[in-house]
Structure 1
Amino acid sequence: MSSSPPNPREALRRLTRSNLLQHVVPDSRFGYDMSAFIPDFRGSSSAVRRLVELPCYKSASTLLVEPDNCLQELRFQALKDGKKMVVSTYGLRRGFVLLDPRRIGEEKFELASLLDGMEKPGLGRNVSWTQLQEEGIRLDLCVAGAVAVTLAGLRIDKGYGWLDLQWGMFMDRGMLGSATPVAVVVHSSQIVRDKPSMSELHIKPWDTPCNFIVSPDEVIETRKYAMPIDRILWDKVKPEQLATLPPLQELKGIQMMETIMRSSGLPPQPEVPQQKPSDKVPNADELMGIQMVEKIMKGYKP
């Protein structure tokens, strides 16, 4: 019995991985299994040199940089350029790391740019949504790798949608906006130039398009389609993700607490006149939100 043909995105992944194989730099843990990571490639330093010349990079103070192998030199350069970075941990399992060059000695910039180094003491800091908001973090540019990218700006990743998930969360917290530029760093063989139709690739409302495709050979400003929705879609979040990923748990708890406060007529700021306690009993969703926030707060480290 023959197996069904892969969907168009999976077909592009397979083709691109095959084309990229002769240029890829193997991962120390995953080798050449490009289904497990976004690879580095020979010539990525040239792509980074092109990216840092873009006006959107030069004007940015804080970047969202994905934990992709091809972006290590960018993370190093951004620290040297005095830019803060928010970097997600692998699979968001430990949330986000904030890299602030003002808190890291220049001699440790290279170590802090490495995925295996940034969480060492004195380098990056694992931060919660509350801590990011308290520090006034606003993301001026997002940079990611990809498995493949189309000229219309559709970034095709490993199939897990991590950037799309992060985009929805950061939009929810007001830390980026629909006009925040997105740049994708890839090898030339990863650029899909035959213009597959958007319907053929099954574009979803949460697909995060890129403004710039940066390769060792060129910078392409895309004919970008509409930006994704401005919030996280909880009905698309898998139960196991909510059960295991701290950023999702914290955000769910924050949203539920905000809903409770709005329904009680309370502003979000704590500095308000004392009001008569409400007799309203929280419903099941509200109780879950309270429990999530309490759990998260107990896990905070000063």
Structure 2
Amino acid sequence: MVNKATSESKRPKAHSLHIGLNEVSAAHYEGWTGPLAACEFDAHDMAALAKAQGIKSSLLITKKATRAQVLAAIRKAAEALVSGDFFFMTFSGHGGQIPDVSGEEEDKLDETWCLFDGQLIDDELYYELSRFKAGVRILVLSDSCHSGTVVRARVPAAATPEQRPRIMPRPVALRVYAGHKAFYDKLQSDVAKAAGGRVEDPDTALANVTVSTRLTAIVKKFSPSLILISGCQDNQFSMDGNHNGAFTEQLLSVWNNGGFKGSYASFHARIRAGMPPSQSPNLFTLGPAAAFLKQAPFAV
């Protein structure tokens, strides 16, 4: 007879974290609050999806979505999960940029998530995710804008009161960086030192990059298996809506309350096929993710 306690202990654990910000603190963002409408809905809906899959979830909504709280939640999961376990994280809010002071190119920009009291830079996110144990599966869904270039290819398409681009405007980004330069420069320096040297490719953490030979060294150092699906390509915008962001709305439609049958790869393809040409969700992986890509989405 199989011991029930032993059986339970062998079952993979699953934790999820859902972050949604309809605004940010004017005190940190130089008077800008970046009002959005659907990000909190996105976080609640993704938490409900996780719960339906038997995943223990937590929510960080707007004022609670601080740098300290988000980092603490990621670190708690990294400490608790072991090989075979599953960590699911979603972010809905503005994407931003700061000048990269730890990389190789002087004019390079680091992508960020705009949390309530400050930006989480991609250097930090990459480093925190790299601290998960080998064999842990990590799924990150990011419904926000990020760009590695100073000048975008075009202005946002279909920008209406109901559809707002989820990006911190460039002039605001420059003011925020100027007002907090020492803070962000030190963050990048500290992360580089903690990672054992220069962070060669921090942009992979937020996944709005194209595959390049520069990623090879980073992949070799990344022990967990990561799948990251983002709301748009590097030269596009993720659009807000009234109830969900455009990416999250399409994802939930394809998921169909668990009716979707297929792999992560086909899940991404179906989501992308249903989006307009102006917003094409990106799929990126780090670590040994080939087997993970073949699994059913959100499966523990």
Q: State the TM-score, normalized to the length of structure 1.
A: 0.31
Structure showing greater relative contact order (alpha-carbon pairs closer than 8 Å, 6 or more residues apart): 2
Mark the structure with the bigger radius of gyration. Answer: 1
Q: In proportion to residue count, which structure has more strand?
A: 2
Q: State the TM-score, normalized to the length of structure 2.
A: 0.31
